Amino acid sequence: MATNSINTLHDLDQTVGSDLSASSTGDLMTATGTQRSQQRVLRRLLTSPGDYVFHPAYGAGLPKMIGNITDVARIRALIRAQLRTEASVAHHPEPSIDIRPLADGVAVSIQYVDATQQQPVSLSFTVQP
């Protein structure tokens, strides 16, 4: 019996700020499921609008929002708006977003439901200028 792979989407395995991942045989690895969703969310939040030539409005540009005065409410609102546009994030229940100011940036923790897998996902990362 053949499996239907049309519902299993693959992206190249690449976390923002890192190189593409290669297998032990040298093939490029792919990311699926929760890993794919987490990579897509990180890419969207850390990419500045205008960085993708063919999609100039794509991205939140979080690193540019970090400076001497950290507006936690504004950062949370921007993250929430960007998550609503990400296909891998379910709209219900609403994602939970926690932001903690740090001496040199912010710590972000997001809990959401993966829209494809219907599984809860936790994603934590820091943003620095």
Mutual angle of helices 33-46 and 72-85, in 10-degree steps: 130
Nearest alpha-carbon partner for 110 in 22, 14, 31, 46 = 46
pLDDT digits (tens, 9 = 90+) for 71-116: 999 999 999 999 999 999 999 999 999 999 998 899 999 999 999 8
Residue 19 counted as domain residue: no
Residue 16 counted as domain residue: no
Residue 15 counted as domain residue: no
pLDDT of residue 69 exceeding 60? yes
Which token pair is 105? 């940036």
84-122 burial: b if 16+ Cβ within 10 Å, else e: eebebbbeeeebebebeeeeebbebebebbbebeeeebe
Residue 129 counted as domain residue: yes
The domain in which residue 90 lies consists of 46-129
Q: Cα-atom radius of gyration of the chain, to the nearest Å?
A: 16
In Å, how far from its chain's centre is CA 16? 9
pTM beyond 0.85, yes or no: no
Please state the domain count of the chain: 1
Q: Are strands 30-31 and 96-102 parallel, antiparallel or unpaired?
A: unpaired
* DSSP tag of 13: -
CATH number at 78 reads 3.10.450.40
Cα–Cα distance, 101 to 47 (Å, whole number)? 20
Q: What local confidence, expressed as pLDDT, does residue 9 receive?
A: 52
